[in-house]
Homo-oligomer: A and B are copies of this chain.
Amino acid sequence: MRSKTKVKCLNTGDFIKIEYEMRVGDDKKLVATSKEELAKENNIYDEKQKYGDIVVIVGQEGLFKEINESFKNAQVGQELEVEIPPEDAFGQRLPSNIKVHTMREFQRLNIDPRVGMEVEINRKIGRIISVTPGRVLVDYNHKWAGKKVYYKYKINGTITDTAEKVKAIIANNYDPEGFNVSVDDSIRIEIPENAKFSVAWLDAKYTIVNTARKYIPGLDILITEKYEKGKGEEQNKTETTAEQPAAEQRETPAEAKGSGQEETNAKN
């Protein structure tokens, strides 16, 4: 046996770069991977996905617990395989997740139901498993419920630079294009044009700030958006929920004086 004193082990909170393959079910069907070529060979290539190593944080919530466990004995350069039982992966298949709908409901939704079709009803996604003249059975179990998950990964490196860690956290939650990150006594993040008026950014920001606080503690975080002088009004607004109502053209000073958030809302 070789001495283990020279082996560098991973610790909770380490940022690691991994390549991975995720397979599901008895036939170990490939359902996700970081490897572009492998995705193409298996007909699961998605041009919207960015391929290449991903960054995960050891111990991070949201990872399968078996994967987090496996990190304890993992080393950089090593390839590992992890098996995740259905109950820890996408849950067991539950008969109670199969619901009966009337044909009329489908008519109202303007859907012509066919077996195998994926549908979204009341914000839940399910698959149609049977269609009879009056009734439609929809299976709302996760499509991988009841299946084992096989996860193979290789750690290609670690990230120690603070700014790189922040960039990785951003990239895991939002399109990182255009973000400027620098670190001095604080973490400074300048956000790009497309995030300035984005509701999706509000949600991503929440996760990004909390993840950074947890895994890069001891630094204030300053998020800045810059509006350069002399730029046109129209260049600004890339995404927003409300349009300027025509009525505002007639707004009086009395009405223009918002007395808080609620009233501002009411106007729009």
The chain A residues found within 8 Å of chain B, CB to CB, are: 18, 20, 22, 31-34, 48-50, 54, 56, 61-64, 67, 88-91, 149, 151, 153, 171-175, 194, 196-206, 209-210, 213-214, 217-231, 233, 236-237, 240-242, 248-265, 268
Contact = CB atoms under 8 A, between A and B. Distances in A.
A220 B265 CA distance: 27
A265 to B, nearest CB: 5
A20 B253 contact: yes
Among A89, A199, A258, chain B packs the most CB atoms within 10 A around the CB of A258
Interface residues of chain A: helix, strand, loop or mixed (majority)? mixed
Nearest to A230: B217
Given A174-B264, A175-B260, A229-B213, A20 B203 contact: no
A18 B253 contact: yes
A40 to B, nearest CB: 16
Contacts of A172: 256-258
A248 B202 contact: no
A125 to B, nearest CB: 11
B48 A263 contact: yes
B218 A226 contact: no
Contacts of A264: 173-175, 200, 203-204
A257 B48 contact: no
Among A172, A236, A252, A255, chain B packs the most CB atoms within 10 A around the CB of A252
